[in-house]
Structure 1
Amino acid sequence: MMIKSFRSRLLVSFMTLAGAVLIISLVAVWLATSQQSERTLERELEVSERVFAELMDVRAQQLQQAAEVLTTDFGFREAVASGDENTIISALINHGERIGTDLIVLQSPNGEEIAATHTSQLLPSIENLTAGKSAAQLVLVDDEIFQIVTVPVRAPDLIAWATLGFGVDDDFAVLMRQLTHADITFMNRQQRNVFASSLDEEILAQIEDPAIALNTALDNLNLAANVSGFNDIQYALSNDPNLVILFSTDEFAATSEFVTLQQQYLVIALATLIFAVLLAMITARKINQPVASLTRAAEQLGAGDYNQPITLQRNDEFGALGAAFETMRQGISQREQQIMYQLQHDLLTGLPNRVSLRDYLSRAIQSKQNGYVVLLNVARFGEVNDRFGQQVGDRLLQMISQRLRDSAPEQWWIGRLAGDEFVLIGEGQSEPQTKALLRDVEQTLSQPWWLDETSYLLEFRAGYLTFPNIGDDADSILRRAQICARQAKQRNAFAVAYEHGMDEQHLRRLQIVQALPSAVREQRLQLHYQPKVNCNDGRILGVEALLRWRDEHLGVVRPDEFIPLAEQTGEINRLTRWVCTAAFDQLQLWHEQGLQLALAINLSALDLQWPDLVKFLREAAQKRGLSPQSITLEVTESAVMVEPEQAIKRLTQLREAGFKIAIDDYGTGYASLAQLKRLPVDELKLDRSFIQDIANSHADLTIVRSTLALAHELQLTTVAEGIEEESAWQILQQLGCDTVQGYYFSRPLAATQFEQWLRDYQGVSP
């Protein structure tokens, strides 16, 4: 069940925290004492084993001394030497009773029994007994364990071996327990026979029970034990691995002090927990009271009730929190108003923003009242920001919005759509009134734009349309107004009204953008080649590769349609790679056929910003065995002027790589003579606009003559395109032009068509 009360949750949290701390500490203490008790038991048993070994050594020394007393006795040695059996037996018995031995055996040097209390056949061989492993040895004889010692009897040569032994019985085990503080049991682990032990009979009964595993029996009896194999003892002679000595102690008795410590700590933990619960209840009550008051105040604020003051008479943090609530209550109304204003207005210009614009336009459409929407765009405003900075751009936008307020009548609603776009909406306004507004706005905006004693040149484009006839929703109306503004830019007009069919052009652009990547990827583009002719003798010098695209849905798509879109969408580099690859392949094929033609390829402004352009072109030419000198790269003036420094750097690299550089459409861009002087150019290509009417236009003739003279002074090759009449060719011959191309010679042709045209042309050319 979920606890909803803060007081209850606080109480539970205190109790949980205190309980967790106590449990963790209790577990830690419990584990520590348990581990310590185990280590203590292990150390005690290890000490018991060492004490046992030392005691066995002392006992062995005593037995060794007693045996040496017997074997050095003159009478005993004489009896052994003479073979007096009665004397030998009497001496052995007397000596054994005197020192308390339980086993006496006398053997000849070769191991034959002379006299014995136990048959010598049960003893290990005389070789093992006399191997010198230890002064005293443990052996198993007739299901009894003896600690024995074997010493030689010499007179003076070896005449016998005397073996004396103490019995290892329960009394011995009890004595060892008193000295080692551990119970000692001598047993056969497999047969579970106990030979001697200091344990009680009840305990021995379970240890001897073969139905219970030894470890299980020890666990049931709560005995901590160490088991030493009989063979692990240095003085044991048995090879039976099941003979063991069991050292054990009562686990409860050994760890009683640790258990007492654990119990005491448990009592202390319970007392601490009870105290923590009582303290938590008192603390939770004190904390909950101001929290409850602040909760009620927050509910009032959430409901929109800002009239009830919040008072909390306390001098602690809750009092400060109550004062903060009161400050919040006083300022929340103002902030709501500010938030609503910022939500609906542009912070830079103070005009209604996109949100307000959509709401206002949607309400106007729903009212079924006719009106006009005017969208105003600042042409090339991005260049202003780039050249003069964002701060200058922002101040100019503020000035534009103020002029719109001053020039527009009150009936027109003004808002900022985004960036450099402004929208004026006139409900109930007619077409004449809208055109009058556009005239006033154009006149106002055409005035100089002075800012900090600097005049800025701004151009404006506008699109306008009526609603709700042309559009029944805000998005479609604004989109069509933007299309009109773009048309105004293309037509170099201030304002353009919406006409039916503009949407189709917009949709066609979208379709081209969508289809272009797949057309490049699937190689559905084609290259056509237009011959370049020597102006003096008409020889074919080379070709210009021109891109063509025929789509099954879009039909013929002109380069001036899809090239700008390719630049906008980032497809231009991929398009350039395809064009260069296809053109280089064709040029390689022609060279292999013996047609030593030159090739011209057009590059865009974005191509000049491509870092790998030089590497790509150089490797593509080398791969096909083409000389870069046979390839001319044409760039327009406008492409060079987008990023002049970058363009000059890239063109210089291309020229150093061996390629020829041509300026295309010269005279139509913005390049100055100073820029032309810096460009690494081999060729100037005059735009067709100066050539088509050169026979009839004195101005065109003058421009072409001066351009050709300038190019020759700069040692540049000249190319004139757009030759459509023989008269134009003749004039260019007289003016000294180097190369010409145009429909007079041939339109751009596919590769196979061009080859046929070339054969026909060379067959009739002089």
Structure 2
Amino acid sequence: MKIKSFRSRLLLVFTALAGAVLLFALIAIWLATSQQSERTLERELEVSERVFAELVDVRAQQLQQAAEVLTTDFGFREAIASSDENTIISALVNHGQRIGTDLIVVQSPQGEEIAATHATQLLPPLATLTNAPVQAQFVTVNEEIFQIVTVPVRAPNLIAWATLGFAIDDDFAVLMRQLTHADITFLNQLTGTIYATSLDSEQREMMAENASNLQQRLAANDIAAHVSQYNRDSASINTEANLMIIFSTDKLEATQEFLTLQRQYIGIALATLIFAGLLATFTARKISQPITALTDAAKKLGAGDYREPVSIHRADEFGALSDAFEGMRQGIAEREQQIIFQLEHDLLTGLPNRVSIRALLKSAIESQQSGYVVLMNVARFGEVNDRFGQQVGDELLRMIAERLRAAVPKNWSVGHLGGDEFVLVGKRQSEPQVNALIVSLKTELSLPWWLEETSYMLDFHAGYLAYPHAADDADSILRRAQLCARQAKRASVFAVAYSQGMDEQYLRRLQIVQSLPSAVREQRLQLHFQPKLSCQTGQVLGVEALLRWRDEQLGVVRPDEFIPLAEQTGEIQRLTRWVCGAALDQLQLWHEQGLQLSLAINLSALDLQWSELVAFVTDSAKQRGLSPAWITLEVTESAVMVDPEQAISRLQELREVGFKIAIDDYGTGYASLAQLKRLPADELKLDRSFIQHIASIPEDETIVRSTILLAHELKLTTVAEGIEEDSAWQVLKQLGCDTVQGYYFSRPLAAAQFEEWLDNYQRESRHG
């Protein structure tokens, strides 16, 4: 498992370091003590061997002194000289009992036995000992081992050799063990016979059974041993050549003190390690405390909590880091407050912005608080910016904010949604209180706005509603308040209160915007055709293509509903492409059927700004084999006035190709006579508002008469639309109008219905 905590890592490092040092020292001491115990054990065995040798030498000297006492005895020498065997034996027995010897042998100088306690030939021929020093050796006699010494018997010449020996048994071995501190074993290596030993029966049996590979067996049983062949000159003396004297000791017992020392050191090491761990824990905690504090502070900063200061009172680097961290916290807190303020407030006016207002409304709704929202906008504020500059506009917005702050009660919140829109939110307000506020605001905002000794007159429109009665979410509240403000602007009043159903039109427009792209892609639109007739003869001259849309959910959608929305959403060019293609396809079919009809297609203001318009309609007509002269492109007067220069240039290009140009809805826009003179037009269409009541309203007749005269003077053909009665047609005939269209003749029809209508109309005309 990966350790992530710094304190745990530090503790682990300290503990591991201390443990490594202790382990290294423990291994070193273990090796040293083990080696030292081996050396000590070896030296102790060597010392035991030397002590044994010295004890044997002392015993040999004692034996020699006892033998010399016997050999210097006059009676003993006389008995040997006279060969008095009984006297010799008596002397040997008495002397042996007195000095405690177990073996006595007297031999002639030639090696013949004179008297002996054991019937054994012990010595080689006398020729080998005549000049030899007196020696103490170990010999075996009848499965027993003896330490012997041989001395000459002189009277005064050599008359005999006397050999005295002490028996070597288990008691002797135990005694030697007590004196040498090592177990001693006398073993015949060849036969495995143990003559004497200080070992217990189990170890005695083990040695006897493994005499041939004794060293390996002893090592396997953790027994340290030295093996000595004490009879170093076995060739000159008839002693046991295979006799081994084994000095041994149990390694565990011999090294017990070292093992105790090692265990003590292990205990000391463990205690030291525990102490080091505790010390490391304390040290790691002391070191990690400021880091932990800084980490906690960093987490709080990451979570957006800047309230608690970072204070670590130390004079070291951690203290300096804490001071730097505290400075960073204060700086971040200040910048956070600035960011939050900028996020929730309008930088220009300092008022709460849309984000704050939405949060305020959401909180009020969630806490089930009721209240009112008043939304105001400045009428034609864009014109103020255009005429007087952005700086003046910004300063006026700041002045509006200040005046609103001063005008509204303290229990109302004032916000700036952006642009020229301001909003007031009042919690727990009644309808009379809101009405009083509206009256107060109307009076206050109607006062002049003085800026650098210049007075500006600003008009305001307001919409207000109650929440959550009128709407139960912030977006709906603000949207419906905006609808009310726009309604106030259209009605030219200061304020309009929300009533149920006011936003249905908005929702319908929203659905139209969402459905229009798919309707164009899936070709769910239709073209209807309304006939255009000669005003004087009633002959059908052509048709005007009119777009129709019937949606499953929206029902019938009028062109004046979706055309402006198509322009706003950028779908108008795709719509124009489809209309031109479908209309020209139908015109081509009619021409192939022998119906020589002209076709009028409506263009929008954005179509005139489309750089590919001329190429598109020209190619579309050419692909279908249609002459542009049969095609009239209608544009409204207001569409031309959006950008007159570009519109005139685009229309001139179309006219040069051969298309006819018609100015639609003439008289409802802002075109001047000078601009009309410049327009590259062929037709002038009189708006239905002047035609519908032309037979009953003299003023309308006067306007139409003057317009027809003006158009004819400018070489323009006049077209009157919206004819619903025969009386209107008759007046237009008298006034000299060229072309007419309207419901009096036919409403817009689908292609098949139009063909049926045309056939019936022409049949009736021939019979009429």
The TM-score, its normalising length taken from structure 2, stands at 0.57
C-alpha distance in 2, partners of 1:575/1:454? 49
C-alpha distance in 2, partners of 1:448/1:716? 49
C-alpha distance in 1, partners of 2:415/2:332? 27
Q: Show structure 1 runs of 5+ residues with no match.
A: 11-286
Corresponding residue for residue 642 of structure 2: 642
Corresponding residue for residue 576 of structure 1: 576
Give SS of 2:581's match: helix
C-alpha distance in 1, partners of 2:452/2:632? 48
The answer to whether residue 710 in structure 2 is matched with residue 703 in structure 1 is no
Q: How does 1:44-59 map to 2 (within 5 A)?
A: none
Task: After superposition, give the CA deviation of every residue in 1:100-159 in whole Å (9 maximum; x if it has no partner).
Answer: xxxxxxxxxxxxxxxxxxxxxxxxxxxxxxxxxxxxxxxxxxxxxxxxxxxxxxxxxxxx
Corresponding residue for residue 363 of structure 2: 363
Task: After superposition, give the CA deviation of every residue in 1:356-411 in whole Å (9 maximum; x if it has no partner).
Answer: 21222123334444322122234565666677765454344333333433443334
C-alpha distance in 2, partners of 1:660/1:450? 53
Q: How does 1:352-751 map to 2 (within 5 A)?
A: 352-378=352-378, 390-446=390-446, 460-489=460-489, 491=491, 493-751=493-751
Give SS of 2:747's match: coil
Cα 1:460–1:558 change in 2 (3 A) is: farther
C-alpha distance in 1, partners of 2:370/2:739? 60
Question: Retained in 2: the 8 A contact 1:310–1:325?
Answer: no
C-alpha distance in 2, partners of 1:715/1:401? 56
Between the two proteins, the alignment pairs up a number of residues equal to: 494
**1:545, distance to aligned residue in structure 2 (A):** 1.0
C-alpha distance in 2, partners of 1:297/1:670? 68
Q: What fraction of aligned residue pairs are identical, expressed as a percent?
A: 74
**1:469, distance to aligned residue in structure 2 (A):** 1.8
Give SS of 1:618's match: helix
Task: After superposition, give the CA deviation of every residue in 1:264-319 in whole Å (9 maximum; x if it has no partner).
Answer: xxxxxxxxxxxxxxxxxxxxxxx9999899779868988756667678879xx999
Question: Retained in 1: the 8 A contact 2:601–2:633?
Answer: yes
**1:353, distance to aligned residue in structure 2 (A):** 1.4
Cα 1:294–1:435 change in 2 (3 A) is: closer
**1:628, distance to aligned residue in structure 2 (A):** 1.1
Corresponding residue for residue 342 of structure 1: 342
Question: Retained in 2: the 8 A contact 1:6–1:288?
Answer: yes
Give SS of 2:536's match: coil
Q: How does 1:202-281 map to 2 (within 5 A)?
A: none
Give SS of 1:351's match: coil
**1:604, distance to aligned residue in structure 2 (A):** 1.0
C-alpha distance in 2, partners of 1:435/1:469? 17
Question: Retained in 1: the 8 A contact 2:542–2:599?
Answer: yes
C-alpha distance in 2, partners of 1:526/1:305? 66
C-alpha distance in 2, partners of 1:403/1:701? 52
Highest Rg: 1 or 2?
2
C-alpha distance in 1, partners of 2:727/2:636? 27
C-alpha distance in 1, partners of 2:645/2:315? 72
**1:669, distance to aligned residue in structure 2 (A):** 1.8
Cα 1:308–1:465 change in 2 (3 A) is: closer
**1:744, distance to aligned residue in structure 2 (A):** 1.8
Question: Retained in 2: the 8 A contact 1:414–1:423?
Answer: yes
C-alpha distance in 2, partners of 1:527/1:571? 17
Letter in 2 for 1:537: T
Give SS of 2:718's match: strand
C-alpha distance in 2, partners of 1:687/1:507? 30
**1:474, distance to aligned residue in structure 2 (A):** 2.0
C-alpha distance in 2, partners of 1:296/1:559? 65
**1:454, distance to aligned residue in structure 2 (A):** 7.4
Letter in 2 for 1:688: R
Cα 1:694–1:425 change in 2 (3 A) is: same
C-alpha distance in 2, partners of 1:702/1:447? 43
Give SS of 1:532's match: strand
Question: Which deviates more from structure 2 when the two are superposed, residues 601-610 or residues 694-703?
Answer: 694-703
Question: Retained in 1: the 8 A contact 2:354–2:417?
Answer: yes
Question: Which deviates more from structure 2 when the two are superposed, residues 429-438 or residues 352-361?
Answer: 429-438
Cα 1:466–1:306 change in 2 (3 A) is: closer
Question: Retained in 2: the 8 A contact 1:312–1:323?
Answer: no
Give SS of 1:502's match: coil
Q: Show structure 2 runs of 5+ residues with no match.
A: 11-286
Question: Retained in 2: the 8 A contact 1:543–1:598?
Answer: yes
C-alpha distance in 1, partners of 2:366/2:513? 34
C-alpha distance in 2, partners of 1:595/1:450? 69
The answer to whether residue 761 in structure 2 is matched with residue 761 in structure 1 is yes
Cα 1:761–1:645 change in 2 (3 A) is: same
Question: Retained in 2: the 8 A contact 1:351–1:416?
Answer: yes
Task: After superposition, give the CA deviation of every residue in 1:642-695 in whole Å (9 maximum; x if it has no partner).
Answer: 233332222222222221112211121232334333322222212111221222
Cα 1:348–1:660 change in 2 (3 A) is: same
Cα RMSD between the aligned structures?
A: 3.9
**1:331, distance to aligned residue in structure 2 (A):** 4.8
Cα 1:532–1:419 change in 2 (3 A) is: same
Task: After superposition, give the CA deviation of every residue in 1:515-558 in whole Å (9 maximum; x if it has no partner).
Answer: 22222222222211112222222222221111112223322111
Question: Retained in 1: the 8 A contact 2:311–2:322?
Answer: no
